[in-house]
């Protein structure tokens, strides 16, 4: 999602490749940032038995260029445009691996680019996959010329994802209130900054704290001690030789958010 947000300002072919590179370069560098140069198919042991065969590899570049022109239009409702763009991207299947992740990240880029989201990302893509059978059926309908199922699914997924995001925000606010109430005396400015940091970095070292808010080593360890006393942090062993702490209540809120996002829909 960070890659998606970073590249949201300019929806272009080069940035789609850059997004794919950012997602895959650490573990599949030979594929990262390159369109596929071979035939692929979905399901089955060969193209003859496949559920779907994407376009020939020679058509990937022109297909993405055409898609980008569609994505850059400003005369279509944003959610409808995003749904169609996502379905078309998955249909082109431009990469041998990582196309699903890139396609889902592209949803975040488009929603930011169209002004639907400004300060946060909405986990629409996770919500789409709560019912994989319906998702693949919607893509199949799109490829037959019917856009309504995929647009409808995006609309419902957006509502679920927005509700999930609001629940996470409320849970984080509750944790913040609990932390502030747990201090034995009012926190100073440095401790306030350290407290806010745990909601962005719920696993940290003293060195991270020093770098993030400019505290000295002694001040960073004092802040961590106060946060431990308030129940906001607890020791979690060592990372690369450095002592580490985690914010268990923040992590629990994030885990609950992830569980809700991936909860399958029962028909």
Over residues 1-60, the pLDDT tens digits come to: 666 777 788 899 999 998 899 888 888 889 999 999 999 998 888 888 988 999 999 999
DSSP 7-39: TTTS-SHHHHHHHHHHHHTTT-TTTTT----S-
Full-model pTM: 0.78
Predicted local distance difference test score (pLDDT) of residue 266: 47
Predicted local distance difference test score (pLDDT) of residue 263: 62
Distances 258 to 106, 150, 205 between C-alpha atoms, Å = 20, 23, 24
Q: CB neighbours (10 Å) of residue 214?
A: 11
191: which residues sit within 8 A by CB, 6+ positions away? 183, 223, 226, 227
pLDDT in tens, 79-103: 999 999 999 999 999 999 988 889 8
Structure tokens given for 39: 């035939």
What domains sit in the chain, N to C, each tagged with a CATH number?
2-121 (1.10.3290.10), 171-252 (1.10.10.10)
How many residues are present in the chain? 267
Average confidence (pLDDT) over 127-146 = 89
Q: Of the ranges 122-131, 134-143, 167-176, 250-259, which one carries the lowest mean pLDDT score?
A: 122-131
In the chain the beta strands, taken as DSSP E runs, fall at: 203-205, 234-239, 242-246
pLDDT in tens, 202-234: 999 999 999 999 999 999 999 999 999 999 999
Cα separation of 116 and 11, whole Å?
15
Structure tokens given for 246: 């985690």
Cα separation of 255 and 112, whole Å?
24
pLDDT in tens, 74-84: 999 999 999 99
Cα separation of 18 and 180, whole Å?
41
């Amino acid at each position: 999602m960070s890659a998606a947000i970073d590249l949201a300002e300019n929806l272009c072919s080069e940035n789609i490749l850059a997004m794919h590179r950012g997602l895959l370069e650490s573990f599949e560098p030979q594929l990262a940032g390159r369109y596929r140069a071979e035939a692929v198919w979905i399901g089955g042991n060969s193209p003859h038995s496949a559920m779907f065969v994407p376009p020939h590899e020679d058509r990937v570049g022109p297909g993405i260029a055409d898609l980008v022109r569609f994505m850059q239009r400003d005369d279509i409702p944003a959610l409808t445009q995003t749904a169609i763009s996502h379905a078309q991207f998955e249909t082109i299947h431009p990469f041998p691996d990582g196309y699903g992740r890139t396609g889902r990240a592209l949803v975040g880029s488009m929603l930011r680019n169209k002004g639907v989201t400004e300060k946060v990302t909405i986990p629409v893509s996770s919500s789409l996959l709560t019912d994989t059978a319906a998702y693949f059926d919607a893509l199949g309908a799109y490829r037959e010329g019917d856009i309504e199922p995929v647009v409808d699914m995006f609309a419902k997924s957006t509502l679920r994802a927005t509700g999930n995001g609001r629940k996470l925000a409320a849970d984080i606010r509750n944790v913040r209130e609990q932390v502030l109430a747990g201090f034995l005396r009012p926190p100073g400015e440095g401790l306030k900054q350290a407290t806010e940091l745990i909601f962005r970095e719920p696993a940290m070292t003293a060195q991270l704290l020093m770098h993030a808010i400019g505290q000295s080593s002694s001040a960073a360890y004092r802040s961590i001690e106060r946060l431990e006393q308030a129940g906001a942090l607890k020791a979690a062993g060592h990372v690369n030789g450095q002592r580490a702490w985690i914010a268990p209540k923040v992590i629990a809120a994030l885990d609950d958010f992830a569980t809700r996002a991936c909860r399958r829909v029962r028909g």
